[in-house]
Amino acid sequence: MEDLQRLLLHDRGLSVLTLPEKGRCLITTRDFSYALVIYMIICIIRIQNLCKFRPAFRSVRLQYGVDYYPHRWMLINLFLIIYVIGETILSEEPYVSVPNKTPVQSRCDWCFTSSNVKRCSSCQVVWYCGSRCQKSDWKLHRLECQLLARLEKSRIRSLTPSIRLMVKLYLRRKLQDEKVIPTTVIDNYNLVKALISRILAYLLYCYVFPFILSLQNMFILKQPYLIYTNFLDHVYADISEVGETQLVLYAQMASLVNIILQWPGLNIKEIAENFSKAQSYNNQLEEACSIMKQLQTRNTILPIIIKLACNAHTICDSELIPLGTGLYPVISIINHSCSPNSVLVFEGRMATVRAMQRIPKGSEVLISYIETAGSTMTRQKALKEQYFFTCCCPRCIKLGQHDDIEESAVLEGYRCKNHTCYGFLLRDPESNGFKCQQCQLVRDKEEILKIAGEEKAMTEKASVALSSGHTNEALHMYLMVEKLQVKLCHSFSINLMRTRETLLKILMDLQDWKKALTYCRLTIPVYERVYPRFHPLRGLQYYTCGKLEWLLGYTKEAIKSLTQAVDILCITHGTTSLFMKDLIIKLEEARAEASFKLSSTDD
């Protein structure tokens, strides 16, 4: 850890501190803010009628440009643009990573691309996009490949990303111990080992390693045959109880890890066979505990699993679509806030933390672990269920105050029955209904419950239809859901926004661009309310809106939306990724097209 401290202080202006109430924290030793990037754009525009074209562009961004005409039908415009980007605080490659497992799309195990991938001829589990990625991953995959090749097909189907990540973590540690893979200051297992903290940062809901929760469950149930309860007590004191049915499933998954790794001296095959044959529920629970007792006696698997659960990250593409899971030991030191000053994004497997605002020297670097669009109670519930701690950020300490109550009522409450009123409703003890805090009208509780029941039932049916591939049927149902939610919810309702997001996606899949644009525009005001100015989701929604507007020929509106997208996403994403390069070029092409149209109109 001392070597890491020296590296962070020397190269990054960062330091790791341990605070009693939070555990490890990443602290700045200098100011972080924004950086300026000079970007050169080359626009090639086909001119249908040169005599009606004026070469003087009216866009302010083109005042630094030079026009060149190699042919009478073409204009090449060269110009420089200065963009403001969020300063990079930290970048890190994963210690181990695995792509998501989906039935429709396979991804390269090294770079996560889905283009031109081929299956490993030996294990038939892992995919690569080419020899370069396969060679880069070969030292680690060589061992994993041998283990996977011995698995039965029935076991392969149960092989989740979480299990593979666990196996790869163990194998990488083994290879580094044997000096096959080099160990560096930021690429070593000791960092993973050092990251256990009370708050279990970044324990992802979708990728929580099941074995951890099964251990915790048995501790809370106080089964008499458990050992190491004191050890579990200080690590899992805040974890809520897990049901016994889940315990059985978790223990089965834990057994698969051990089947793959083939721990010496542990007859996991016999345990698994007995486990699957057990008829009595109590017998299954006893078998689960038997597995745990044997695993706890080994000093290898338990610590590895704990580190995995504490530090797993969902790797996303530039549009925040999940691609896989990775372990980033240094970035995992960063704590959560519902009002973060930084953002975590990915370019391929590389994780980058960028400043979203000025971060003074001596401040803690903070990111958000969860979706921050929601009331304080919703956020606190998500953090408690997924990460087992209670947030005390500036937003959360307002719980129960007037502003917080109003925000909760707007985002997750009901609308006034007067459709021209935009007030929020609170319970009225006198009438047993809900009173508008603006016009004082009372809305009947029974009416609200009736609409809410219809909306919930229709949402469930629509979700089933969509997941079953019945797109047109799902579209019809979600339109009915939206209609009910408009009657029920405030115009800034999160549920209404999510329904309109679903309708937007369905309509884009059906290539109904005009209706898709309508729904995209309906979500923008809610995004502007629930997300801070430089939030990537807000920038991406502007980007979607701009793409649709440009596709439909609304060039002026597209320029406005794409400009808003670029201004935000340059802060959060930088300008080096292919996605950002394409976005910047798209914006400048739209500007050039608008200028050409304006010049033609003037003539």
In a domain, 526, yes or no: no
Q: Which residues, 6 or more positions from 387, have their beta carbon under 8 angstroms from its beta carbon?
A: 199, 200, 201, 202, 203, 336, 369, 370
φ, ψ dihedrals at 543, nearest 5° = -60, -45
* Structural domains in the chain (count): 2
pLDDT tens digits along 232-242: 343 343 334 34
> For the segment 199-253, what is each residue's pLDDT rounded down to a tens digit?
233 333 333 333 334 434 434 333 333 333 333 343 343 334 344 444 444 444 4
Q: What's residue 479's pLDDT?
A: 97
% of residues, the chain, pLDDT over 70: 70
Distance CA 254, CA 309 (A): 13
Residue that finishes a domain, picked among 308, 342, 373 = 308
DSSP 258-283: HHHHT-TT--HHHHHHHHHH--SHHH
| Statement: the pTM of the whole predicted model exceeds 0.95 | no
User: Is 373 a domain residue?
Assistant: no
When pLDDT is cut at 50, 70 and 90, the band that residue 311 belongs to is low
- The answer to whether position 434 is within a domain reads no
Query: 414, 465, 420, 400: which is closest to 443 by C-alpha?
Result: 414
- What band does 34 get if pLDDT is binned at 50, 70 and 90? confident
Q: Is residue 121 part of a domain?
A: yes
The answer to whether residues 454 and 484 touch, using CB atoms and an 8 Å cutoff, is yes
Closest CA to 343 of 323, 329, 327, 359: 359
Residue 155 counted as domain residue: yes
Residue 14: strand pairing partners: 28
Last residue of a domain, one of 254, 282, 308: 308
Supply the mean pLDDT for the chain: 76
Structure-token pair, residue 383? 């953090």
Please check whether residue 401 is in contact with residue 65, taking contact to mean a CB–CB distance below 8 angstroms: no
> CA-CA distances (angstroms) from residue 463 to 104, 341, 457?
19, 35, 10
| More confident position, 170 or 237 | 170
Cβ contacts of 543 within 8 Å, gap of 6 or more = 561, 562, 565, 569, 583
- Residue span of the structural domain in which 566 resides: 531-602
Q: Are 327 and 165 in contact (CB under 8 A)?
A: yes
The 10 Å Cβ neighbour count of residue 548 is 24
Q: Which two tokens stand for residue 30?
A: 């200098």
Question: Distances in Å between the alpha carbon of 284 and those of 153, 222, 273, 291?
Answer: 24, 17, 11, 11
Mean pLDDT of 420-448: 90
How far apart CA 384 and CA 239 sit, in angstroms, is: 8
Q: What is the pLDDT of residue 258?
A: 53
DSSP state at residue 61: G
CB 323 within 8 A of CB 316: yes
Residue 554 is encoded by which pair of tokens?
Answer: 């609304």
| Pairing state between β 350-355 and 127-128 | unpaired
Higher pLDDT, 18 or 291: 18
| pLDDT, position 382 | 87
**Dihedral sign of CA atoms 218, 222, 224, 230 in order:** positive
Tokens of 166: 């666990």
Of 87, 112, 95, nearest to 14 by C-alpha is 87
Overall average pLDDT of the 47-71 stretch: 37
Give the pLDDT confidence score for residue 603 in this predicted structure.
Answer: 56
Inside any domain, residue 331:
no
Q: Is residue 479 part of a domain?
A: no
**Single residue among 262, 284, 308 that ends a domain in this structure:** 308
DSSP string, 474-511: HHHHHHHHHHHHHHHB-TT-HHHHHHHHHHHHHHHHTT
The CATH number assigned to the domain holding 591 equals: 1.25.40.10
pLDDT band at 10 (very low <50, low <70, confident <90, very high): low
Is residue 545 included in any domain, yes or no? yes
